[in-house]
Structure 1
Amino acid sequence: MFDWLIVGAGFAGSVLAERLASQRGDKVLLIDRRPHIGGNAYDRYDDAGLLIHQYGPHIFHTNSEQIFDYLSQFTGWRPYEHRVLAEVDDQLLPIPINLDTINRLYGLNLTSDELDRWFAERAEPVEDIRTSEDVVVSRVGRELYEKFFRGYTRKQWGVDPSELDKSVTARVPTRTNRDDRYFGDEFQFMPAGGYTRMFERMLDHPNIRIMLQTDFAEIRNEIRYRRLIFTGPIDEYFGFRFGKLPYRSLQFRHVTLDKEWHQPVAVVNYPQERDYTRVTEYKHLTGQKHPRTSLTYEHPSDEGDPYYPVPRPENAARFKQYDALARETPDVWFVGRLATYRYYNMDQVVGQALSAFRRIENEVSGRAAREPGPALVDTLQPAP
């Protein structure tokens, strides 16, 4: 008998497993259909001995000292500020767009104040900003939208930015100074020993049992547990009752080159030519010294593991139907990107999991106080 069955060993499931085991003394079974822990943040050493991220680059950044301090229990840190270049018109230019981007692209020598006016002259007024296209053209105009955003977004999401919610491009700032960091957060680091090592330490507790290559659908009625935390796709849990929620997937091509370096920064985006969206060179992230270098090419796809919920109004409406079902399902908590159909950064998933633990503490402890003795059935019934 386990107190908890947790489906998914990524950030959401692992944080909750650690909290429930270490803070409540609960017995936890953590399962994942993949052959490893860590979810999409899983990293490994390849055949050349280089540490790579199996599912594309994961860069930790946060403004939350609480989240940073929590993860610091399980890892040391390597300071790292992420910088990205975009290949546009045969030049490698800083992205997010900043003062150097514009001056180099157009052969200008603008100051920050002049660039503010330059943007304003090109911006197209949009009365009601609803789409990703609206966000960009209202800020910097249509020419920069076409060069930096439209092609990349269409490759990444499979639809035109005019059909996507404004949240997609609102994540990328536009700067009038020379700050070329991709993120502006207070805490910007990489786990010193890698993400997988951090997860191993997080889950190293006698009350946590891990089963990999295990599908929830195959064991949900075979294992005895009191409560469930589900971090997989919420539509899958409910048997796709209202239809499938669309996700965008990725295909990764990992290569190793017989040279020390390939590109000047960790990530180069390709918004114009090429069928891939970006190339990552991991030694920039890890600080590893090695005579060879390993890269990952990312090819967006409609097929494969779900990575990104597609932010369109009809998808949000369908999710609300599933969310209503989830709220009526006793003793099941839905946590994480896939279970809440939101595109979260890693720190946001950690924050959501910590908040879920506090809610669980209040609800479960309060229920036990109101109802002495066994308050819950041993196993959950299959989803209707």
Structure 2
Amino acid sequence: MVLLKRRKKDINMKYDYLVVGSGLYGAIFAHEANKRGKKVLVIDKRPNIAGNIYTEEVEGINVHKYGAHIFHTNNKEVWQYITQFAEFNRFTNSPVANYKGELYSLPFNMYTFNKMWGVVTPEEAAAKIEEQRQEIKGEPKNLEEQAISLVGRDIYEKLIKGYTEKQWGRPCNELPSFIIKRLPVRLTFDNNYFNALYQGIPMGGYTKMVENMLEGIEVRLNTDYLENKEELDSLADKVVYTGPIDAYFNYKLGTLEYRSVRFETEVLDKPNFQGNAAVNYTDA
């Protein structure tokens, strides 16, 4: 959510733009404004730039502190733009699901269906899914019914139910159906999660990429905009706010439910822990 606030121009104002938040949107906006000759101040309440795509080096590994981010797009113009700030590797997201020690390929594809049911051809897989989805009559009323109508009961129970309930903190039959409407289901052996022509992760990490975007721009860290709003507003003609929208309005309508996870980090003295970059543990 991005909020642009215009203020009446004051001759004492030092900046054209105050950008609140140094994540991807804030950094790109600041870069483009600066390129056009605008005076920009970027602030962030965290002790680091890059927002939720911040990466830090641990034991020679660029760790995504706030969860893994894989850049992907079908837009050639977007790809050419972002690669001016960093060289990208050729990482392809091919997750694995672990259900009580049973391993399945994600997104759901012929490898998944073969492991689940022993089917070999796309026709057999489609017939099995069609057979199982018949239990849902009419328009799906919740996430559980939506998932079953897409991939059947077996896959729902083993690969969707427990994982989803852990992530959202509530039963699947209490979650809206639209959350899972775009679930990828493929009758091929393609386990590339994204249908994107361009994808990868910046070599050197996202933080370095954002540093390159903010080159030549004043940045102040450990600066809480909402705690110092009046003072900071007075510095610029326009404010671009990229923080939580409920906080901006002082939670007048309550707190928004943000989908979130808790991170627990361990450093293991072994060269390869699980054989794949992303493994979803799907049992409850």
How high is the TM-score relative to the length of structure 2? 0.89
- CA distance, structure 2, for counterparts of residue 161 and residue 70 of structure 1: 39
Q: Deviations over 1:308-351 (max 9, x none)?
A: xxxxxxxxxxxxxxxxxxxxxxxxxxxxxxxxxxxxxxxxxxxx
Q: Deviations over 1:95-118 (max 9, x none)?
A: 111111121233x14201211111
Partner of 2:122: 112
Partner of 1:142: 153
Partner of 1:81: 92
Structure 1 stretches (4+) deviating beyond 3 angstroms? none
Partner of 1:213: 222
Structure 1 gaps of 5+ residues are 274-384
Partner of 1:2: 15
Answer yes or no: is 1:30 the counterpart of 2:39: no
Offset, 1:130:
5.0
Question: Residue 89 of structure 2: SS of its match in structure 1?
Answer: strand
Identity %: 38
Offset, 1:128:
2.2
Answer yes or no: is 1:16 the counterpart of 2:21: no
Contact 1:7 1:231 in 2 (8 A): yes
Letter in 1 for 2:226: A
- CA distance, structure 2, for counterparts of residue 141 and residue 168 of structure 1: 17
Answer yes or no: is 1:59 the counterpart of 2:70: yes
- CA distance, structure 1, for counterparts of residue 27 and residue 137 of structure 2: 43
Offset, 1:89:
4.2
- CA distance, structure 1, for counterparts of residue 150 and residue 265 of structure 2: 36
Partner of 1:41: 53
Sort the Cα spacing of 1:74 and 1:264 in 2 relative to 1 into closer, same or farther, 3 A: same
Matches within 5 A, 1:154-303: 154-205=165-216, 208-223=217-232, 224-273=235-284
Question: Residue 263 of structure 2: SS of its match in structure 1?
Answer: strand
Offset, 1:126:
4.3
- CA distance, structure 2, for counterparts of residue 12 and residue 248 of structure 1: 19
Partner of 1:345: none
Question: Residue 251 of structure 2: SS of its match in structure 1?
Answer: coil
Letter in 1 for 2:255: K
Matches within 5 A, 1:82-97: 82-97=93-108
Contact 1:126 1:134 in 2 (8 A): no
- CA distance, structure 1, for counterparts of residue 60 and residue 203 of structure 2: 16
Q: What's the RMSD between the two structures over aligned residues?
A: 1.6
- CA distance, structure 2, for counterparts of residue 109 and residue 227 of structure 1: 60
Question: Residue 45 of structure 2: SS of its match in structure 1?
Answer: coil
Contact 2:94 2:107 in 1 (8 A): no
Offset, 1:71:
0.6
- CA distance, structure 2, for counterparts of residue 88 and residue 137 of structure 1: 18
- Number of residue-to-residue matches in the alignment: 268
Letter in 2 for 1:44: E
- CA distance, structure 2, for counterparts of residue 6 and residue 127 of structure 1: 48
Q: Deviations over 1:171-217 (max 9, x none)?
A: 43111111111112111111122111100001102xx2111111002
Contact 2:18 2:239 in 1 (8 A): yes
- CA distance, structure 2, for counterparts of residue 109 and residue 247 of structure 1: 39
Letter in 2 for 1:222: E
- CA distance, structure 1, for counterparts of residue 248 and residue 119 of structure 2: 56
Letter in 1 for 2:70: I
Q: Deviations over 1:280-299 (max 9, x none)?
A: xxxxxxxxxxxxxxxxxxxx
Offset, 1:140:
1.7
How high is the TM-score relative to the length of structure 1? 0.67
Contact 1:9 1:39 in 2 (8 A): yes
Offset, 1:161:
2.4
Partner of 1:347: none
Sort the Cα spacing of 1:130 and 1:5 in 2 relative to 1 into closer, same or farther, 3 A: farther
Letter in 1 for 2:245: I
